[in-house]
């Protein structure tokens, strides 16, 4: 069957390949014309030989996605369906759907997980939309999803797909941070001699076995002390939105929030907050402060022991 | 080969069975004589037909384990080995090992993971001790561990096994809490219609797939809204020790600590801390407080909106 | 001088009184006509004998404030000024100001702190707006603020007042929670015999002395064990917005967020998240779960000690 | 009256001065003989002209204090009293007291707060010990404490003084972190133009007014952007012990723990935990990682927006 696919980056490019392997005809568009099958959205829409048309948008969340959906609203027709497979905030979905509905165009949101492994293993799909619209996209979902009984869910009405994906990512942040804190403690305490070996052993039989653990073991096999990597971690929007939605619903999420904040901290060369704490200690206790630009002395590294405190 | 096994509860009983299935001769002792093979530790030690003897202790951490190890120190001989497979704090291991070493008895600590699934799938083992002592226990480790390349590690000297297991459990707390917070947000927001379905879909292709996720899906299949379960969660010592060791080594562990604190909170009928906060709000803002024993009114449930605040 | 004041609740009522004591003429309006000086906003506006008019809005944040500002936009004239003294989100201020500016009406946002103590001690004021508009309100700020050099700041342009007040409240949450956690530890450990006495002693000479501490001491004098109060704590919008703004700016705020989440938890009869954790422990370890509606047994209360864990 | 004082550093030196101003005779000893009144502990004990003798120990917590108390046990006599005024862990107190009790020597623990301001304002004192022993030290407590009704408490038996001081410091960490996070948000958001001015305004009439706030305002007057200070913060033992005691008593202390962890993080050049998180993101998403030693690019700084995630 025919599908339009907009955005052929790391995710979209692999998805085109997986769809083609399943026998589908993919009309791919990308700003980078070298990798595109057509030269414009108009050409993409015109290239379909049958209807209704299904067009999958796989571009960065925010304005790029919103703008693409608007443009598709100009080009598509009654009965066609747009799928937003990007990492959009779920609150965008209703707006997009309402906009397209004015012309009778359907809208489906799809949270997609799997990263660079999706081409081989399939992409997990969390889908939101009306049963009618979802049905039109179903053949492509079947091609993209992993084999077997899992990896696909029609989670609810428009927005439910991206909401599920957002929470998925929030959980992911928490799990990654849990492993990371445990890893740091193992290395800091130096009671265990073979830290990568311990993590590898956990891959079977333990409560903490998971795909993320497998990946961490991989990473440690390549670089046993993570010497070549900096502890600098970006965040995508979904971790932030998870906390905001939790706040909206008065759900306590201490672990998910701590994971996000650890990423924020990892990107700071110096922390204004901790400058303020250091300034306060200096004010009340005469504690030496480390001047900006000055290396910490051995004495600074100590924990307990100051005679003077508060 | 022959092994003594002390403690035949949920863990020890299944381990005896798995060892026997592998062809070993297990001499089991338990306070509950109905399930024991011998009537005392003396009988257990005397029942061995060869030496060196290996005796595996699988009783509650703390005094029960310490007392058992001491008693074995009286009964065993030079060259024998005691294995502590319980959830002891790793700081106990050096003490136990030194005590036994006075008589030439070896000591190995083994962190054991796998719960009630271990009988079938094997037990993950994290082992600490000298190569010589570990070698004497190796045949039994082989029988207990899962098949394949994982699920066993000789993590380092005495204490390293329990340390690795402690960190494993700390990570476990964090992962469980991450799933739990995500689950609560999914249910609270009510954007997703089929929460158990979403979690089930995550079992393939996603970043958050894991054995714990599989278990959570199982639990939701049995009780889709967890109606029959109370949000009351105990903690074992290992979560606590993980935080204490992190503090000893100045390792920031916000996620692991938050997970432990969430369990503490879950066991409080009322929080003295939050009484203090409510009292403070009442003092400065004249905010109505909910009296002890009084049900919260609808108005109390509201979030933003008070005219008077601080 | 003349000022209109809309909203005569706990805050507005006291502010009218403080303004009058300072010699100002206050034209007060409230939905509750018994306490109002005029019967409608129209009457309020018409009651002024001079111009420009200053009208202070002191109603709940959100729709009530937004609606009131809109209505004032219909009634006031070029050169008049509206002050929003409520707990509005700072993002509302620009919208309000732009709306009023179309008719030449000025807008000033004022974060007001002081609660029920403001009548006597004065209200701390954090003000946002153009110098010209702020100048028109200055005589009333002088009457409302505490005596002395503090308690008033022109923090910046429109929105800066409410932003400063929002952060003030976020800090307040963190401070209250810090005292509360310390208080709980003092009571739980039972090493200190006279907990209220310890807190009282802290009121001079210590690093933790503060007005909030004074209030906590007051509360404990009235009810030494806080027996008559439930650990149930509402939150106003400002604590939530503080976290959201921190996320917007990638500022790590673990303490402020933990304080908010503690309030969320305090309002839950049972925690869906902790149900999920309990369900997980049950799945992997055969840990007994406490059934809904069932009292926890003594055994449930224990900390470390389970033989079987993960 | 006569008192021996051991340890004449920043705290002890000022305390000697305050005691002398109150008319007491202080026999001071320090390892630094230039500031000492006597050349050894033996000389100190012999210099008393009356009995019972009161000797106040003001040296670093841990071995220095424990060793000094032991040595005093050799030198003092039945009826004399040793005061530990340092920042010892409260669990040391019972050991010290029992040791001294063998010779009939009394023991009192005194948590002392006030830092470099204590000489002028007085030192807040939290005292543990028997009424009889506390009475012997009372004249010196009176001289050291602030004037007025506050700043002194006999908190309970031996250990209660240091326990109260420990909790005091735990709360202090939380309060400092709360201000610091709010400060960072104010500076990061740049909605408020005059951040020091806002904090200064809070010194009267607000809920967050406190001595710590006064100190922060002082610090910002000296260095408005804290340019000359590094966000590097040590911790003394008491913050750590507070968390450990909270864990011992199953008291949830998310705010106090987060404050401690923020200090740990502030001292790390690079975070092993965040290296692990970065490695994981790289594994599943092909996210570029920042290499060790490499500056972050502008692209790394972005929040939301990656096409590929999980």
Tell me the pLDDT tens digit for each residue of A52-96.
Answer: 999 999 999 999 999 999 999 999 999 999 999 999 999 999 999
Calculate how close chain C gets to D45, using CA atoms only, in Å: 31
The pLDDT of residue B301 is above 50: no
A-C Cβ pairs (cutoff 8 Å, strict): 54
pLDDT level of residue D309 (50, 70, 90 thresholds): very low
Point out the residue among C253, C271, C273 whose CB comes nearest to the CB of A261.
Answer: C253
Bridge partners of residue A86, in order along the sequence: none
Bridge partners of residue D110, in order along the sequence: D127
Which residues on chain C are in Cβ contact (under 8 Å) with D124?
201-202, 204-206
- Residue corresponding to tokens 């608007």: A70
Map out the domains of chain C as residue ranges.
Answer: 2-157, 166-266
* Ranges of H-type helices in chain B: 10-21, 41-46, 63-75, 90-101, 118-121, 131-144, 160-189, 195-201, 211-222, 237-248, 254-266, 272-285
pLDDT level of residue C303 (50, 70, 90 thresholds): very low
Q: Which helix (H) or strand (E) holds B28?
A: strand B25-29
Mean pLDDT of chain A: 92
| CA distances, D306 to each of A29, A123, D299 (Å) | 18, 17, 10
Contacts of D64 (CB under 8 A, 6+ apart): none
In percent, the amount of chain B with pLDDT more than 70 equals: 92
Q: In the numeric block, which tokens belong to residue A18?
A: 């997986």
Mean predicted confidence (pLDDT) in C93-106: 97
The answer to whether the Cβ–Cβ distance between A150 and B246 falls below 8 Å is: no
The pLDDT of residue B116 is above 90: no
| CA distances, B223 to each of A288, B195, B263, C284, D113 (Å) | 58, 12, 21, 16, 54
pLDDT at residue A114, rounded to an integer: 84
Question: Which of B2, B17, B71, B172 is the catalytic position?
Answer: B172
B193 → chain A, closest CA residue: A156
CA distance C155 to C129: 8
Calculate how close chain C gets to D217, using CA atoms only, in Å: 12
Mean predicted confidence (pLDDT) in C125-129: 98
> In this predicted model, which residue has the larger pLDDT, B304 or A310?
A310
| CA distances, D181 to each of D9, D188, D214, D261, D275 (Å) | 32, 10, 16, 14, 24
CA distance D84 to D95: 12
The number of beta carbons lying within 10 Å of the beta carbon of residue C208 is 28
Gyration radius (Cα) of chain A, Å: 24
On whether the CB atoms of residues C6 and C68 are closer than 8 A, the answer is: yes
> In this predicted model, which residue has the larger pLDDT, A308 or C233?
C233
Q: In the numeric block, which tokens belong to residue A70?
A: 């608007």
Which residues on chain A are in Cβ contact (under 8 Å) with B189?
163, 245, 248-249
Residue B297 is classified by DSSP as: P
CA distance C174 to C169: 9
pLDDT at residue D301, rounded to an integer: 30
Handedness of CA A14, A17, A19, A21 (dihedral sign): negative
Which residues on chain D are in Cβ contact (under 8 Å) with B273?
251-252
- Residue corresponding to tokens 């001088």: C1
A255 → chain B, closest CA residue: B255
Q: Which phi and psi angles does A156 have, rounded to 5°?
A: 155, -160
D87 → chain A, closest CA residue: A307
Which residues on chain C are in Cβ contact (under 8 Å) with D249?
185, 188-189
The pLDDT of residue D310 is above 80: no
CA distance D71 to D5: 14
pLDDT level of residue B238 (50, 70, 90 thresholds): very high
Point out the residue among A244, A252, A284 whose CB comes nearest to the CB of C207.
Answer: A284
- Please state which architecture CATH assigns to domain B166-266: Orthogonal Bundle (1.10)
CA distance B17 to C235: 55
pLDDT at residue B298, rounded to an integer: 32
pLDDT at residue C299, rounded to an integer: 33
Say if residue B103 is preceded by a cis peptide, omega within 30 of 0.
no
Instruction: Region of C196 please: left (phi>0), alpha (psi -120 to 50) or beta.
Output: alpha
The pLDDT of residue D302 is above 70: no
The answer to whether the Cβ–Cβ distance between C184 and B276 falls below 8 Å is: yes
Residue D294 is classified by DSSP as: P
pLDDT at residue A305, rounded to an integer: 33
On whether the CB atoms of residues C260 and C235 are closer than 8 A, the answer is: yes
The pLDDT of residue B281 is above 70: yes
Question: Which of D2, D17, D71, D172 is the catalytic position?
Answer: D172
DSSP string for C125-156: EEEES-HHHHHHHHHHHHHHSPSSS-SEEEEE
The pLDDT of residue D11 is above 80: yes
The pLDDT of residue C272 is above 50: yes
Handedness of CA C277, D274, A249, A92 (dihedral sign): negative
The pLDDT of residue C39 is above 80: yes
On whether the CB atoms of residues A126 and B191 are closer than 8 A, the answer is: no
Q: Which helix (H) or strand (E) holds A44?
A: helix A41-47
The pLDDT of residue D167 is above 80: yes
3-state secondary structure at position A84:
strand
pLDDT level of residue B163 (50, 70, 90 thresholds): very high
The answer to whether the Cβ–Cβ distance between B233 and C278 falls below 8 Å is: yes
Q: Is B165 a catalytic site residue? A: yes
3-state secondary structure at position D125:
strand
Point out the residue among A121, A189, A203 whose CB comes nearest to the CB of B245.
Answer: A189
For residue range C51-67, list pLDDT tens digits in order. 999 999 999 999 999 99
Mean predicted confidence (pLDDT) in A108-125: 92
CA distance B292 to C3: 43
CA distance D177 to D79: 44
For residue range C143-188, list pLDDT tens digits in order. 999 999 999 999 999 999 999 999 999 999 999 999 999 999 999 9
Mean predicted confidence (pLDDT) in D193-204: 97
Pick from A280-284, C271-275, D69-73: least confident: A280-284
Pick from A77-81, B116-120, B226-230: least confident: B116-120
Superfamily of domain B2-157: NAD(P)-binding Rossmann-like Domain (3.40.50.720)
Burial of residue C286 (CB within 10 Å: 0-12, 13-18, 19+) is: middle
pLDDT at residue B292, rounded to an integer: 54
Q: In the numeric block, which tokens belong to residue A268?
A: 């700071």
The pLDDT of residue B294 is above 80: no
Handedness of CA C39, C40, C41, C43 (dihedral sign): negative
3-state secondary structure at position C252:
coil
The pLDDT of residue D163 is above 70: yes
């Amino acid at each position: 069957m025919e599908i339009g696919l907009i955005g052929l980056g790391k995710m979209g490019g692999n998805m085109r390949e997986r769809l083609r392997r399943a026998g589908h005809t993919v009309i791919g568009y990308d700003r980078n014309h070298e990798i595109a099958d057509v030269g414009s959205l108009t050409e993409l829409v015109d290239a379909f030989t049958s209807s209704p048309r299904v067009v999958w948008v796989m571009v960065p969340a925010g304005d790029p996605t919103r703008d693409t959906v608007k443009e598709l609203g100009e080009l598509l027709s009654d009965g066609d369906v747009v799928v937003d497979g990007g990492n959009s905030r779920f609150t965008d979905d209703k707006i997009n759907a309402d906009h397209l509905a004015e012309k009778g165009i359907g809208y489906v949101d799809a949270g997609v997980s799997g990263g660079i492994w999706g081409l081989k293993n399939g992409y997990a799909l969390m889908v939101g939309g009306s049963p009618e619209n979802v049905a039109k996209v179903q053949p492509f979902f079947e091609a993209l999803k992993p084999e077997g009984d899992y990896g696909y869910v029609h989670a609810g009405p428009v927005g439910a797909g991206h909401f599920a994906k957002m929470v998925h990512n929030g959980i992911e942040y928490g799990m990654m941070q849990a492993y990371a804190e445990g890893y740091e403690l193992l290395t800091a305490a130096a009671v265990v001699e073979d830290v990568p070996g311990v993590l590898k052993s956990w891959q079977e039989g333990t409560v903490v076995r998971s795909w993320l653990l497998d990946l961490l073991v991989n990473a440690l096999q390549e670089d046993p002390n993570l010497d070549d990597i900096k502890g600098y971690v970006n965040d995508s929007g979904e971790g932030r939105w998870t906390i905001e939605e939790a706040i909206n619903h008065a759900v306590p999420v201490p672990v998910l929030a701590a994971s996000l904040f650890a990423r924020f901290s990892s990107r700071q060369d110096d922390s204004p907050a901790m400058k303020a704490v250091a300034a306060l200690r200096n004010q009340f206790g005469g504690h030496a402060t480390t001047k900006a630009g000055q290396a910490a002395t051995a004495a600074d590294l100590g924990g307990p022991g100051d005679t003077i405190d508060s």
